Amino acid sequence: MSADRKNHDMTQAEADIALLLADATDAVEIGTAPVQAVLRGGRRRRTRRWAVATATAVAVLGGSTGVTLAFAGLPGEHHRTQVTAHPASPEARHVYEPQETELSRGTYQGKPWSVTLEVWGAPRDAEEAARQFDLMKAEGRELVVDTPDALVGKTSFFALYWTGSGRPQQVLFDSRAKLDDMRGTDLESGAVPQGGTGPDRLVIGKVARTAREVTCTWRDGRTTAVLSGPVNYRHNVPDPAIVPVAGYPAANWFVCVAPQGTSYQTAEVTK
């Protein structure tokens, strides 16, 4: 009886173990099933990573009208996602309200003056161009184009000399599909009288972003060094400086003013 009981107990235990193994087998999925389960889990994780990458790409590419992102899935499978990004509004692109950067300021004959660079974003179609054209005209800007359509796809800039409360004097201005990429010792400048009449004493120009010094030479032999870097102020008046301009990544800009009794002769990049 003892032997029979032991055999019965062993048989019952083996049966219990078999049932447990069967349950575990059903849960685990033997053969190729676990491989597919792992791949499915991997695919879900990869999908989450793609969603983050897609959001990042749209944020980086910002103003594009559409971005196509292609990803590799399982062997033999191809996933292609079309992501449509809303183009930046005219307001975000500064089509109707320009970006303004002060280049310098001071006092001349007891009156304050300043020089700013105004940059208008490029219109994308005739409707945007027509509105921008009218706004520029209302501000008293003189344009290098005769019709609004000629502004489509072009960035416009105006280097303006302000004095008093009247309209500014334009010194350098243009509308271009591609802004000049200034390099090395490239320099473009214009010189005008201060106060509207007299010798050319006020110089406004642009140089490569790598330029560290511009030297303005005056007719009496004196010179003025214009340096890049943080602008230093003396009694609220900035020293001549080479400065970056909002909306104009192709170059930096500078202003120098001749001492009393002389006028402009040359300006060149010296460092």
Confidence of residue 14 (pLDDT cuts 50, 70, 90): low
pLDDT digits (tens, 9 = 90+) for 242-268: 999 999 999 999 999 999 899 999 999
- Of all residues in the chain, what percent carry a pLDDT higher than 90? 51
User: In this predicted structure, what is the pLDDT of residue 16?
Assistant: 54
Distance of alpha carbon 239 from alpha carbon 231, whole angstroms:
7
pLDDT at 73 over 90: no
Across residues 33-49, what is the average pLDDT?
A: 34
Instruction: Show the tokens assigned to 6.
Output: 């032991």
pLDDT digits (tens, 9 = 90+) for 141-192: 999 999 999 999 999 999 999 987 778 889 999 999 998 888 999 999 999 9
pLDDT digits (tens, 9 = 90+) for 109-141: 888 999 999 999 999 999 999 999 999 999 999
pLDDT at 207 over 80: yes
Put simply, whether the predicted model's pTM sits higher than 0.75 gets the answer no
